[in-house]
Amino acid sequence: AQSVSQHNHHVILSEAASLELGCNYSYGGTVNLFWYVQYPGQHLQLLLKYFSGDPLVKGIKGFEAEFIKSKFSFNLRKPSVQWSDTAEYFCAVNAPSGANNLFFGTGTRLTVIP
């Protein structure tokens, strides 16, 4: 079975600090990888995704993530966070066959202090 680990439960940063949120997954086959974000009071929305090709993917709002197959990782990064990045971030994986349901990590709450 697939599983996703997000080791950072709550991260607190000052504005302009750099961000890296860890995500590791457990699955032996080909996977699709996602980062979703949930801003306070809003629904989940896609930040970025990786299906194939360049392992460094860029998403909205200056976020990027790097797929490292050998490490089963898909860490999320942003060089300079803003107060508006305060949100909960979820890493997710699915296998590109069958139900395609997503397996989510438990989420990382990011608080950015102005």
Partner 1 sequence: GAGVSQSPSNKVTEKGKDVELRCDPISGHTALYWYRQSLGQGLEFLIYFQGNSAPDKSGLPSDRFSAERTGGSVSTLTIQRTQQEDSAVYLCASRQDRGGNEQFFGPGTRLTVL
For binding to partner 1 (CB under 8 A), which residues are involved? Answer: 4, 6, 32, 34, 36, 42-46, 49, 51, 90, 92, 94, 96, 98-107
Looking at the Cβ atoms of 59 and 81, the one nearer to partner 1 is 59
Looking at the Cβ atoms of 52 and 70, the one nearer to partner 1 is 52
Q: CB of 52: closest distance to partner 1 in angstroms? A: 11
Alpha helices (runs of H) in the chain, residue ranges in sequence order: none
Q: CB of 80: closest distance to partner 1 in angstroms? A: 26
Q: Tell me the pairing of strands 64-68 and 56-58.
A: antiparallel
Looking at the Cβ atoms of 7 and 18, the one nearer to partner 1 is 7
Long-range CB contacts for residues 82-88, cutoff 8 Å, separation at least 24: 82/15, 82/112, 83/15, 83/112, 83/113, 83/114, 84/112, 85/19, 85/61, 85/110, 85/112, 86/39, 86/40, 86/110, 86/111, 86/112, 87/37, 87/38, 87/39, 87/40, 88/37, 88/38
Looking at the Cβ atoms of 43 and 114, the one nearer to partner 1 is 43
Q: CB of 98: closest distance to partner 1 in angstroms? A: 8
Q: CB of 60: closest distance to partner 1 in angstroms? A: 13
